[in-house]
Amino acid sequence: MLRGIRGATTVRRNDRKEILARTAALLRSIVRNNGLAAERIAMVHFTMSPDLNAAFPAAALRLLPGRGWARVPAICSTEVPVPGSLRRAIRVLVLAETDRAAAAVRHEYSGGAAGLRPDLVSSRANRKGGSKR
C-alpha cells in the first residue's frame, strides 16, 4: 500500500547547513519510526516557507545513512505565503510503500512545527508532550 507520511520542522535562520541538518534529522526520524528503506520510497516532496532559500531541502536525502537515497525522486517548492503562517518552516510529504495501516503511520513534527498537526501525531507522542514530533 502506498501511504503519505507528513512531517515538518523549523530552522532558526536561513542557513544552508542548518536547513540540511534539520531536514536530515526529520527524514531520519520518519524513516526510523516507519521502518522505511530507500527502495520503498516512491517520492518525497519538500516545501519551505518563503523566507527560506539558502538550500534545497531535497539535498538532505544524500545525508541519510544507507544506500539508495540518491535515487529517490524528490522535488522542492515554496509554501503559499499565507499571512501569519509559520516562519522558517520546512515541510515534507513522503510517499512510501508500507504494510502499515494509515492509523499506524508515524508523522513527525519537530522544532517550532511541533504543534502544526496534533491530529496526525500519535497519542503516545501527545502523552509525552509531542515536543519531538
pLDDT for residue 126? 38
C-alpha 31/C-alpha 7 separation (Å) is 11
40 part of the active site: no
pLDDT for residue 54? 98
Catalytically annotated residue among 91, 106, 108, 133: 91
62 part of the active site: yes
pLDDT for residue 129? 39
Catalytically annotated residue among 13, 62, 71, 124: 62
Catalytically annotated residue among 18, 28, 100, 117: 117
Q: pTM for the complete prediction? A: 0.88
Domain positions in the chain: 2-127
pLDDT < 70 stretches in the chain: 121-133
pLDDT for residue 133? 31
CATH class of 2-127: alpha beta
Element housing 96 (H / E): strand 89-97
